[in-house]
Structure 1
Amino acid sequence: MTAIPSSEMWRSLPGPEDITRVELPNGIVVLTRSNFNSASVVLNGYLPCGSQYDPLDKLGLAGFTARALMRGTARYDFHTLHDMLESAGASLGFSANVHTITFGGRALAEDLPLLLNLLSSCVREPTFPTEQVERLRAQLLTSLAIRAQDPAEMAELTFDALLFPDHPYGRSEDGYPETIQKITREDLMAFHQEHFRPQGMVLVVVGAVTAEEVIAQVNTALGDWLAAPLTNEENFPAVKPPAQSVRQHVPLPDKVQTELIIGTLGPKRNHPDYLPASLGNNILGQFGMMGRIGEVVREKAGLAYYAMSSLNAWMVAGSWEVNAGVNPANLERAIALIQEEIRRFVSEPVSEEELSDSQSHFIGRLPLSLESNPGVAGAILNMERFNLGLDYLQRYPQQVLAVTREQILEVARRYLDPERLIVVSAGPPLES
């Protein structure tokens, strides 16, 4: 039986008592938690303007824009900006996903004003210098050329396209060579001008600063950023599970290993099904030596170099998938064995021991994930992003312990239909 954590332990986790949340007049949400056991600060956050806004003929535009933000601003050229960070031993970076352009950085607490000043300059006044844009384009094209020869990347790209047809989740956030080639400096400037707004921006600061200091410094750096709110909010199309099983292979000559993905839709992050599905996934293909999948496919049958399952949950939907790296000669046997294990998973409840072990694992790893400033900042950002509530971490152990074997079976049956799975492999061409 899983031991019930003490209420003192729950209260010691980050929560409403020590997380300050403030919305500035211009719409920026600031969340902060002090930790004076370290002399540093971590800054994480996002702007709500990701690849969902990419034109179909210019996929990768949001990601291109995000990576170009630090290539030069109205106040600092590329070299000055990076010299300022390096001189302070600080870091700052941007990336993009479907829903957001994200940023992250760290510095000594005394250099937080510098970090916020550079963040403000990058998001408000990037200049997208032509020479730097072309250098970045070359780097992106190189990355895409490498991706095209990576079996795992190509399998995932194909799996997403089949699972989410005609949907932003099914499109490459990084784009394709032909779409990156089409993106101009003017496109970057237009994307920035149209989509970058203070409204909806979220900024998290954790470290050796008080909440009052953080709010004052953010106000100084970003409080005067004013812009009309967006009027063209993107509506995501409905996501439907596969109507039937689909099988596709991506041939990659000269490869010696085949990457395999078998899966279907999963719950979105803030859905009640998420936690039972997450515990179930841990049993199916994560815990110990990669759960039941790893035990059967890798350890007993010896058909895979690795075999595991994953639950990927986003804002409007998610995926539940099994990943394996196999010898091409073992591909069909591995597929059959994984499908058989999924059938077993949806036909009977998990054991009491499996559930108890997974519950203990989930509860035990939580404090460990919150030992560092980046861990706390990431947790706070996710609580805000998915509207989980500032007391989410404190409620988490109770929620984990409340999940039953019957709930896991019910949720597994709701999502994992063995007769309607997407099966994608990438590697050496199949023998006819």
Structure 2
Amino acid sequence: MSLARPEILQTLPGPEDITRVELPNGIVVLVRSNFESASVTLSGYLPAGGLFDPPEKLGLAHFTALGLTRGTERHHFQQIFNLLESAGASLGFGASVYNINFGGRALAEDLPLLLSLLAECLRIPRFPQKPIERLRRQILTGIAIRDQDPADRAEMMFDEVLFPNHPFGKPTDGTRHTIARITREDLLAFHRHYFGPRGMTLVIVGAVSAEQVLEEVQRTLGDWQNPLQPAFPEIPAVAPLAQSVRSHIALPGKVQTELVMGTLGPSRLSPDFMPASLGNNILGQFGLMGRIGNVVREQEGLAYEASTSLNAWKDAGTWEVTAGVNPANLQRAIDLILAEIRRFIAEPVSWEELRDSQSHYLGRLPLSLESNAGVAHAILNLERFQLGLDYYKRYPALVESVTPEQILEVARRWLDPERFAIISAGPPME
């Protein structure tokens, strides 16, 4: 008997109500109308992320993304802010390893304004010197805060250990040394070389028709070309650790130790992803943070928080455990987590645990799609990972087809506690 409610499944986005069009210049536009809302949400990306950063100027893509709204050839920073503010709209940019990401929202009647500003920022930013220097100081302040945060420091070193000399192992926001080296000319050159329509994806959800959206996108972005835009590079393969790596980052003055431990995980495109995702939910997410939270936090009282996460990208992923602990309890917490991992790869999860997790997955899906922003994010992922427009129609069957034996097989394939990165950050160890 299916755990999914048929009346809920009928409301999920699918090929019958998502319009997908690829423009001649390579931009992919996806639209889902929702006339029960007076607003529209815009979300998207273009392939110009941190993997293009020169080693000596890490954070260049991030800096460029944040600088896009600091002034264009048509409007300066304050004018852009005033135009958005007067319409009650928003528009923002960021960077990841793969992409420059953007998002915004407005009333449906202000979609032409939102798309015009998006096109301006993407196509003709000016990166004026004074606003860019203010932005540099803001970025450096953020990095200074990051570098004193135990959780951030542990996560950064975890990535460095798992992905040595690899784009996934480098901080997308850079370091204080690399950000200090970046010039206005670097921003202009990065934009000129890497920004272009090929590979760009734009999702719009809300009180607009597909015809309206396509007309406006064609008007603002349809003639965009960049012959310099390079092909997307191949991401280097990553091998698991040959043996466990243990490291502690001493941060004097801190009172809590943050722990990150784990290994590589399946990519989002791997057939292992769904069994691993449900298994991860049982191991360290569901209820009071799953089995690990129950043992480490609830039963033993060794951690303020303890949970697991499965981070899956197109080319790789991580499967990790995080915990915030009293420094005196650090080794005991590590030992308990490793013991729980060993139990997880030694015997199948129970059908009761699996059914609870499957019900949770199917129950939370409609909730995540209640807003225009949630739907836009979901549709963006369909395109990002080439899942197919019918993915959410197939989703219940994909979830319900997973068995305890599949979870065990996948867990054994990915989780080897003898080859974990175990990184902690906090007070110096005695």
Give the secondary structure class of the aligned counterpart of 2:216: helix
Give the secondary structure class of the aligned counterpart of 2:419: coil
TM-score normalised according to structure 2 size: 0.99
* Alpha-carbon distance between aligned partners in 1 of 2:230 and 2:153, rounded to the nearest angstrom: 36
Instruction: Give yes or no for contact 2:3–2:362 (8 Å, CA) kept in 1.
Output: no
Corresponding position of 2:197: 198
Residue identity matched to 2:311: N
For residue 6 of structure 1, report the CA deviation from its aligned partner: 4.7
* Alpha-carbon distance between aligned partners in 2 of 1:410 and 1:44, rounded to the nearest angstrom: 37
Query: Unpaired runs of 5+ in structure 1?
Result: none
1:282-297 maps to which residues of 2 (within 5 A)? Answer: 282-297=281-296
Residue identity matched to 1:375: G
Q: CA offsets per residue over residues 279-308 of structure 1, 9 Å max, x none?
A: 000000000000000000000000000000
Instruction: Give yes or no for contact 1:10–1:395 (8 Å, CA) kept in 2.
Output: no
Corresponding position of 1:219: 218
* Alpha-carbon distance between aligned partners in 1 of 2:297 and 2:7, rounded to the nearest angstrom: 41
Give the secondary structure class of the aligned counterpart of 2:104: strand
Cα separation, partners in 2 of 1:229 and 1:362, compared to 1, 3 Å: farther
* Alpha-carbon distance between aligned partners in 2 of 1:48 and 1:232, rounded to the nearest angstrom: 9
Instruction: Give yes or no for contact 2:354–2:404 (8 Å, CA) kept in 1.
Output: yes
Give the secondary structure class of the aligned counterpart of 1:143: helix
The size of the alignment, in residue pairs, is 430
RMSD across aligned positions (CA): 0.9
Corresponding position of 2:406: 407
1:134-283 maps to which residues of 2 (within 5 A)? Answer: 134-228=133-227, 230-283=229-282
1:373 equivalenced with 2:378 (yes/no): no
Identify the range of structure 1 (386-395 vs 234-243) with the bigger mean alpha-carbon deviation.
234-243
* Alpha-carbon distance between aligned partners in 2 of 1:236 and 1:383, rounded to the nearest angstrom: 20
TM-score normalised according to structure 1 size: 0.98
Q: CA offsets per residue over residues 297-345 of structure 1, 9 Å max, x none?
A: 0000000000000000111000000000000000000000000000000
Corresponding position of 2:92: 93
1:122 equivalenced with 2:121 (yes/no): yes
* Alpha-carbon distance between aligned partners in 1 of 2:231 and 2:306, rounded to the nearest angstrom: 42
Corresponding position of 1:26: 25
Corresponding position of 1:35: 34
* Alpha-carbon distance between aligned partners in 1 of 2:300 and 2:385, rounded to the nearest angstrom: 40
Residue identity matched to 1:218: V
* Alpha-carbon distance between aligned partners in 2 of 1:346 and 1:243, rounded to the nearest angstrom: 19
Residue identity matched to 1:164: F
Instruction: Give yes or no for contact 1:199–1:229 (8 Å, CA) kept in 2.
Output: no
Percent identity, please: 66
Give the secondary structure class of the aligned counterpart of 1:419: helix
Residue identity matched to 2:344: F
* Alpha-carbon distance between aligned partners in 1 of 2:264 and 2:130, rounded to the nearest angstrom: 42
Instruction: Give yes or no for contact 1:346–1:412 (8 Å, CA) kept in 2.
Output: yes
* Alpha-carbon distance between aligned partners in 2 of 1:170 and 1:231, rounded to the nearest angstrom: 23
Instruction: Give yes or no for contact 2:309–2:321 (8 Å, CA) kept in 1.
Output: yes
Corresponding position of 1:364: 363
* Alpha-carbon distance between aligned partners in 1 of 2:228 and 2:124, rounded to the nearest angstrom: 18
Query: Unpaired runs of 5+ in structure 2?
Result: none
Corresponding position of 1:321: 320
For residue 5 of structure 1, report the CA deviation from its aligned partner: 2.3
Give the secondary structure class of the aligned counterpart of 2:258: strand
Corresponding position of 2:334: 335
* Alpha-carbon distance between aligned partners in 1 of 2:5 and 2:307, rounded to the nearest angstrom: 32
